[in-house]
Amino acid sequence: MPTVIKLGVPHPAAPQPNVDPVLSLGVPHPAAAPTQRHPVLSLGSPTLQRPNPTTVRSYHNTVLEESAVSLCGIQPGDPVLELGHGPGLGLEAAATLLTEPTGRLIGVDYSQYMHQMAGDRLKELVSSGKVSLYQCDVAAMPLAESMVDKVFHCNCYYYWPDLRKGAAEIHRVMKPGGVMGTTLRLSSVASFASRSEFPAENWQPKAYMEALRASGFNQVTMEDQQHKHITYQAIYDTAEK
């Protein structure tokens, strides 16, 4: 059994947790030694060692973030937004695609810890103005209307206490015709939900898709996709205005 039991990061107003918020995300602790081993390949290694659950979860997380980035079809000159960026893996992947001067990246996360961590990871891009990070709630972003072409997020909406507020805010900041996409591994999310990790039933894709439909996303789609041998669910749509 993994010793890590929490998937998410508590609301900033909540008391300090005893669990390390990075470990609780399933990403390696920054102080941990980097590993060169491919966690999936190691499943079949001659040593027959059991894979480290934290490493496997970290690998899944990276795959999901990369998939969320590619899901929304980022173009080199797009203004792009990531919601709940956590340590900044997805921001890092998206930034490499934004090669034109108009290509800008915005990240929001209400956790001070994650805001700081992503800021450290992307220090140079933040200094140059290519990347802007805001420590704020998805439901109240300090962003102008219709300013981004693409929005992506990963392992995030399950924590929003009010999905409709979050979905309405996404729609507000998106340009007409912009694309929003999120990725998740439903089996893993359901397993966390069974341990009461999330508020209410907000983790259910159906709940999030209904909130999107109520906010101006009229053709919300969910489908199975695959990347690096991992099957995941993708939810996406175009913002109509």
**Distance from C-alpha of 59 to C-alpha of 24, rounded to nearest angstrom:** 14
Q: Interface with ligand SAM by CB under 6 A: which residues?
A: 7-9, 25, 27, 61, 65, 84-87, 89-90, 108-111, 114, 137-139, 154-156, 159-160
Minimum distance, C-beta of residue 218 to ligand SAM, in the bound complex (Å):
24
Minimum distance, C-beta of residue 87 to ligand SAM, in the bound complex (Å):
6
Minimum distance, C-beta of residue 158 to ligand SAM, in the bound complex (Å):
8
Site of tokens 């980022």: 74
Q: Among residues 186 and 218, whose Cβ is nearest to ligand SAM?
A: 186
Task: State the residue number with the nearest CB to ligand SAM.
Answer: 86
Lay out the sheet containing 148-154: strands in order across: 131-134, 104-108, 79-83, 148-154, 174-184, 230-238, 221-227
Count CB-CB contacts under 10 A for residue 231: 11
Q: Per the structure block, which two tokens stand in for 108?
A: 């929001």
Distances (CA, A) of 65 to 69, 72, 92, 102, 215: 6, 12, 10, 23, 24
Minimum distance, C-beta of residue 10 to ligand SAM, in the bound complex (Å):
8
Q: Among residues 114 and 173, whose Cβ is nearest to ligand SAM?
A: 114
Minimum distance, C-beta of residue 83 to ligand SAM, in the bound complex (Å):
7
Using DSSP's 3-state secondary structure scheme, residue 11 falls into coil
Q: Among residues 79 and 87, whose Cβ is nearest to ligand SAM?
A: 87
Kindly give, in sequence order, each residue whose CB lies less than 8 Å from that of residue 48, ignoring residues fewer than 6 positions away.
Answer: none
Q: Among residues 49 and 191, whose Cβ is nearest to ligand SAM?
A: 191
Q: Among residues 28 and 90, whose Cβ is nearest to ligand SAM?
A: 90
